Amino acid sequence: MKVLILSPKGRYDLYAPDCPSRREAELIFRDRTGTEEEWLAAGADAQVLVVTPVTHIRRELIGQMPNLRLIQCDGVGFDRIDLEAAWQRGIYVCNNAGCNAGAVAELAVTLMSMLLHRTLWGDRMMKAGLHSQATQTLERNVPPDLSVSHVGLVGLGHIALATAQRLRVNGSRVSYYARHRRTAEEEAALGVSYLPLYELAEQCDVISLHLPATAESRHLLDREFFAHVKPGAFLVNTARGAIIDDDALCQAVRSGRIAGVALDAYEPEPAGADHPLVRLAAEFPDRIILCPHQGGVSQAAFRNAVRMVFENLDHILAGERPERVINGL
């Protein structure tokens, strides 16, 4: 079995488990930033294509790989793969849902705490030699922390559940919105309560996004959503940039309705200096935290991801259905 992997070889060398597909499959590595021509020259006849969540896999590329049986994303996101083209060919598309849940949840909660504690402002004040002034300001306007905050999770998948678990340890009240509500028993066990989207916006001190990028979630946070947001609330996005209407967010920040924002995802990516949210951060340096989509970049996440890739390679090698199929086959 031939496998074309558009991901760093060093990561697979470091974390690959001892399993049949590692021993028996022909693994060919190419740079994900290369051209489709380079990829096809190396592995047009591959049975499996392994890609990162940021790699565009177009219908035209799929059409030039006649032996393809599986497109495996080695992360969670799959919005850059032509799912319909794969479905029409009977090619499985799978992701690694849950592989980075702990790492992304850890970053999400960290960003919430940084916003609540005005960390960027405090850092700037200290670097300017204004320690006493900063202390006096905080004593006059004592900030809240997670223990007294109502946090709203938009989405309730693997990462949101890991986030909720960490928030409960901090004493936060946790609500969620999702297209499919959990049962009352599940909500009680998870320690979360359901709110419709706009009610969540109106009631929560912190809103944290945990949705994939789909046609349904695109610009879910639009001008109407921000009109319902509790004045002075904070927003954290460690999911996908497409969930937010950037113009609407900029307006909400400039008006003061949103007190602070922490972002680890953008539309498009990479986000250059001319991206509206990068410009917004320059305009409000104490209120906007920008991260380079790093939430899922951790040793544990990479180890989990590589293990899950090889589990599905083993399934294909054995003629079995892979796990975590996302394109309806």
DSSP assignment, residue 19?
-
The encoded tokens of residue 286 equal 């104490």
Q: Domain spanning 101-290: which CATH class is it, in words?
A: alpha beta
Cα gap 135→115, rounded to integer Å: 17
Q: Please name the amino acid found at residue 288.
A: I
**Pair 77, 212: CB distance under 8 Å:** yes
Strand partners for 74: none
What separation in angstroms does the CA of 302 have from each of 12, 163, 234?
9, 19, 30
Mean pLDDT of 268-296: 97
- Predicted confidence at residue 228, as pLDDT, reads 98
Residue ranges per domain, the chain? 2-97+298-317, 101-290
DSSP secondary structure of 34-58: S-HHHHHHHHTT-SEEEE-TT--B-
Mean pLDDT of 127-150: 97
- Predicted confidence at residue 156, as pLDDT, reads 98
Q: How many CB atoms lie within 10 A of CB 110?
A: 18
Give the start-end residues of each E strand in the chain.
2-5, 26-29, 48-51, 70-73, 92-94, 150-154, 173-177, 193-194, 206-209, 233-237, 258-263, 288-290
Strand partners for 236: 208, 262
Question: Which residue's entry shows tokens 């693997």?
Answer: 158
The encoded tokens of residue 139 equal 């004593």
**Pair 217, 240: CB distance under 8 Å:** yes
User: Do the domains 2-97+298-317 and 101-290 sit in the same CATH topology, yes or no?
Assistant: yes
**Pair 76, 54: CB distance under 8 Å:** no
- Strand, helix or coil at 31? coil
Reported as a pLDDT band with limits 50, 70 and 90, residue 312 is very high
For 68-124, write each residue's pLDDT tens digit.
999 999 999 899 999 999 999 999 999 999 999 999 999 999 999 999 999 999 999
- Predicted confidence at residue 252, as pLDDT, reads 98
Q: Which residues contact 5 (CB under 8 A, 6 or more apart)?
A: 12, 27, 28, 29, 30, 50
**Pair 226, 248: CB distance under 8 Å:** yes
**Pair 104, 84: CB distance under 8 Å:** no
Nearest-5° angle of CA 62, CA 158, CA 87? 20
CA dihedral 71, 74, 79, 85 (to 10 degrees): 0
The encoded tokens of residue 35 equal 């051209």
Q: Put residue 115 in one of left, alpha, beta given phi > 0 → left and psi -120 to 50 → alpha.
A: alpha
Mean pLDDT of 233-244: 97
Instruction: Find, among 102, 217, 113, the residue nearest to 165 by Cα.
Output: 102
Q: How many CB atoms lie within 10 A of CB 314?
A: 18
Q: Does domain 2-97+298-317 fall into CATH 3.40.190.80?
A: no
- Predicted confidence at residue 40, as pLDDT, reads 98
- Predicted confidence at residue 227, as pLDDT, reads 98
The pTM (predicted TM-score) of the whole model is: 0.92
Cα gap 127→125, rounded to integer Å: 6
Helices (runs of H) and strands (runs of E) counted in the chain = 15, 12
Give catalytic residue positions: 240, 269, 293
DSSP secondary structure of 186-233: HHHHHT-EE--HHHHHHH-SEEEE-----TTTTT-B-HHHHHHSPTTE
The encoded tokens of residue 320 equal 């079995």
Q: What percent of the chain has pLDDT over 90?
A: 99
